[in-house]
Amino acid sequence: MTAIYLALAIASEVIATLALKSSEGFSKPLPAAIVVVGYGISFFLLALVLKHFSVGTTYAIWSAVGTAAIALAGIALYGETANVLKIASLGLIILGVVGLNAAGTH
């Protein structure tokens, strides 16, 4: 169940970050509300995960997977560039998360 909470925390953070772009500096109420609620849900779920997993591994996975997902969403949704360095860097993020999981979560 803890892994599901972590996945939902990541998804909520990604949704909130995408809404942050759409909020145009918090000038649009609906996207701004999604940002606040999304980050709130994400941190709540992250707190539940931290009851069972180490803080270093949890935060590294949460932030790395979120970063990679946002970078890919930027490419897919907003037409941001997808050059070799960006794709290779995303691969390194994924390898880092795999390495942290291989090292253990406690």
Instruction: Tell me the residue range of the domain where 41 lies.
Output: 2-103
For the chain, what is the domain count?
1
Distance separating alpha carbons of residues 90 and 98, to the nearest angstrom: 13
103 burial type by CB count under 10 A (0-12 exposed, 13-18 middle, 19+ buried)? exposed
Structure tokens at 74: 């930027």
pLDDT in tens, 72-85: 999 999 999 999 99
Average pLDDT over residues 38-53: 97
Which two three-digit tokens encode residue 104? 């253990």
Task: Give the tens place of pLDDT for each residue, 22-40.
Answer: 999 999 999 999 999 999 9
Residue whose entry in the numeric block shows the structure tokens 């490419």? 75
Distance CA 12, CA 42 (A): 5
| Residue showing tokens 């909470």 | 5
pLDDT the model gives residue 106: 53
Hey, what amino acid is at 2? T
